[in-house]
Amino acid sequence: MSDAQNQHDHDGPHEGPIKTPKQLILAILYAFVVPIIVIALLVEYVTSDHRPAAGTQALTPEAVAERIQPVGMVRVKDASDLSTLKTGEQVFAAQCTTCHTAGLVGAPKFGDADAWGPRIKTGYDALLHSALAGKGSMGAQGGGDFTDLEIGRAVVYMANQAGAKFDEPKPPAAAASAAPMTTAAPATTAAPAPTAVAAAEPAKTDADGAVPALYTQLCQTCHATGVANAPKLGDKAAWAPRLADAKNVDGLTAIVIKGKGAMPPKGGSTASDAEIKAVVSYMVDSVK
């Protein structure tokens, strides 16, 4: 009897959670509405400006600007603005101290008179040339990005701290203003006496009436003093064989672009071929 009763209970009708039409309608409604609400919330979250970015940093304008900032920057210096030029001590602190304070890779230590002595004897021009062109493990300009004048100041600063008595190089404009001026003799009623003093030759300029900026910034360092056998500006004897070999300005320009001897390609600059030709023409004109 008990077994029959149990069998009857299992075979009877089963009731689900939905018992009325109203419950069925609500179940169907929830089955569609709830997923739609969830999807809408997800879309809102993904497109929201307040959503945290990778990690924990929010996509604020500041964060975006930091992410897209350039890897490098180009800084243009105006060689005529003397206020922007660094002192020798500043250049040393920014560029030279790494090797010259510790004496790395054979660099003479700052203030070491014994190490600097033989170098000082070679003279300022030779030291400057080594610093500009590079020597041994030291790259051109010590691997830095300073003007030739700033490098010259650093050379003088280090050498003088080791016992040298070099004068600090002056900017071209300051050097020109410090040069003695030739004044004409006052007019008299008597016939002027013959004089053996010739008037100073005016500085030669390019076609626009100005010295090329590239010469002032780069070429002047060697060609104004004759460092490393560079022909001096206006020295006809030094320029004659070079003009004979190169034939013309174009030939000399090609040599400068390629580099020769101690002079690196384009003098170590990034000037255009047209700028190189302009400064070569300026120097050639000085010996005509």
Comparing C-alpha atoms, which of 201, 272, 282, 286 is closest to residue 235?
A: 286
Alpha-carbon distances of 269 from 89, 102, 221, rounded to whole Å: 24, 30, 13
**Which residue segment(s) compose the domain that 216 sits in?**
208-288
CB 125 within 8 A of CB 112: no
> What would the two tokens of residue 200 be?
């100073």
Please tell me whether residues 287 and 215 are part of one structural domain: yes
Please tell me whether residues 214 and 150 are part of one structural domain: no
Please tell me whether residues 152 and 217 are part of one structural domain: no
> Nearest 5°: phi and psi at 74?
-105, 125
Residue at 217 is within a domain = yes
Residue at 141 is within a domain = yes
Task: Flag residues of the chain having pLDDT under 70.
Answer: 1-16, 49-59, 70-83, 142-144, 172-210, 217, 221, 227-228
**For 118-145, how does the pLDDT look when each residue is reduced to its tens digit (9 = 90+)?**
988 989 888 888 888 877 777 777 666 7
Query: How far apart, in whole angstroms, are the C-alpha atoms of residue 86 and residue 84?
Result: 6
Please tell me whether residues 94 and 144 are part of one structural domain: yes
Residue at 24 is within a domain = no
Please tell me whether residues 166 and 91 are part of one structural domain: yes
Residue at 215 is within a domain = yes
Residue at 274 is within a domain = yes
CATH of the domain at 159: 1.10.760.10
Of 174, 194, 226, which marks where a domain is finished? 174
CB 155 within 8 A of CB 124: yes
The pLDDT score that the predictor gives to residue 72 is 60
Please tell me whether residues 215 and 270 are part of one structural domain: yes
Look at the chain and report how many structural domains it folds into: 2
The pLDDT score that the predictor gives to residue 160 is 92
The pLDDT score that the predictor gives to residue 197 is 32
Residue at 76 is within a domain = no
